[in-house]
Amino acid sequence: MEQQQRGYWRVADGSAVSSTQAQVAWTRAAYPALVDVARRYHAVITYAELAEAVQEAAGIRTRVHQRTWIGKVLALVVREAHRRGDPPLTALVVHATDGMVGVGYQEVLAVAGQPPLAGEMDREQHAAAARLACYRHFGAPLPADGGTPALAPRLQASVTRKAAAAAPPRPPAICPSCFLQLPATRVCDSCGATA
């Protein structure tokens, strides 16, 4: 029972497993889980959802927070995808809070022999293209145009909100006769002209 409180254990019998054994089992479970996500156009999965799915599928649990081990599992998935010639499935995994891939996404670039990306949005654009490659490779039903790279829905909503807030205000309407700013009615109070 002490092992269940601190370490990693098999659900079936409560027997202890090492963190390495758990990570290998979770990696084996993560690959098909991510392929399933890749079969749905523009689908993503959060780190927490993936952590729960791999523990359930592998039958190995831990109370250790997923932040401490999910990155290791995803690094193994990156290497396995590269070995198989598959696109980087880890691009499908995003944070629930902001819809962004984690900093560990740089592993995708390292395994492919590419230099690190400088900014967060560069990383997100790369991940969006990698997700599209996943959807195409694993047979997601795509639109007639073949699909487009897209930010994760939560991140796209945030980007759209920020862009709308940053949009310059519309210039005021000016009366074409008096050259005065028109009221909200867009009818000039001085001459009655409309804009």
Closest CA to 105 of 86, 85, 128: 128
Contact criterion met (CB below 8 Å) for 109 and 129:
no
Tens-level pLDDT at each residue, the chain (195 residues):
444 456 999 999 999 999 999 999 999 999 999 999 999 999 999 999 999 999 999 999 999 999 999 999 999 999 999 999 999 999 999 999 999 998 889 999 999 999 988 889 999 999 999 999 999 999 999 999 999 999 998 898 888 888 877 777 788 898 998 888 989 888 998 898 887
C-alpha to C-alpha distance for 153 and 43, rounded to whole angstroms: 9
Closest CA to 55 of 91, 96, 12, 86: 12
